[in-house]
Structure 1
């Protein structure tokens, strides 16, 4: 019997059209493009426009212009998250049916007030790897009938993953294969710790999906085998691996690359237009100049 052919590597660059691309995006896009080329793989572009209030057609057009100017080419048609909202709703529905998520009714303001009152007593409220306070999770104590009444009343809510229940579903340790490096140089087989994130949001009243759920579903639907992205998303991989296991999705290889910082030492932001790819182009720089700056 002939051995099965190795799976063709699939890489993707997935920006959000809510601002101009900067040098950090250029690094991620170029790495994905070049790694795909080096492995005879595929390079995909995905537009993560789930935030319909901030994403605009103008910024999306700018993404195509910037990447084209950098000399990158990608497969078409481009996947746009706003065209796949039913997919995310269906995935969320599967988790709701299994009792792994619950409706959370506390507003950001209410959470902030609760945390401030707690910490005023000299205690530290637990926080996630990004420094945000973990959700109190009071709704976990409600009966299904209790939160059904609140939903029927039209109270704004988010759907949050019940992290303890989700982890209890696992039948084996949760890990991922890292070929890049974490914040402290971690590489190889990494132990995932989704509990550090608490009860993460999977959907809100004003958005059909969170980043965590949408990116996990998109990577699976597009057959992505290698996720190459910035180190700021290193710890979030634990949540994505948990969702992959819960939804019976394939596990890609992960490669987290260094971040590019501005003169103030902070991670680049789309609001820093002086580091935007378009600004370099307008200043007469070449794609090779940009590569020399970041590679």
Structure 2
């Protein structure tokens, strides 16, 4: 409890640095301590990072590059995509320091015109550690990574197709998609989280994923859309569950306690996965984006959610 209080106090102080001059007595701190405080402040949010850059030339020069590896970058609206791309192109050193990226500006199938720009953004960030994006864009990037002949049609020269540090992947399933059959990207993934959608044309989970064995996959989790029942039969016939290092499988629901459809697939999945399986409940305040952000710096955040079976039934 005491450590939480200290962290909260540090966060409050750090954020205040972004709204006023840090010169004076504060600038007398050793540069290592000053930089650590500024990096903590800049990593709290994109807004705080931008505010720090505007504080002074000194603070701008100290934080412009140093904060990026600790910042979760969220591109969730279409009108943010082009400015983000321009920002990446403005300085290769900035792009190479991006590690945590939520890149889902518009995941509807009708926005296929956004896919090339999203792929170019991904190819500009070779040191990603954790990525969240839609299945369509991920499949396009994966295909290009695995098929060098097609790269010139979509990406500028100098793009990166190998992301050796990328181990944590979140996929938003808004359309049918599948990993490339010779995918080097999926061969290195250790944690995979799949967010389903309520679409009549998309079965959950997508069958293309279930047909792949991921050799380094350790943790697998699925967020079940409201009113959708997972296709347990597809999972049972697929190869994904045969991934040799798979230790834990989680399904996450927002359904009320005692919901008949949830209890039905819960029983089937428990039979399929045995001791590796857990069903969790996601409170409304915990959005998918917040879970992803927390998981970037607190490994296995999903497995800290409340177990569905531990919730008290509502009358």
Q: Which has the higher helix share?
A: 2
TM-score if structure 1 supplies the norm length?
Answer: 0.28
TM-score if structure 2 supplies the norm length?
Answer: 0.27
Higher RCO, 1 vs 2 (CA within 8 Å, ≥6 residues apart): 1
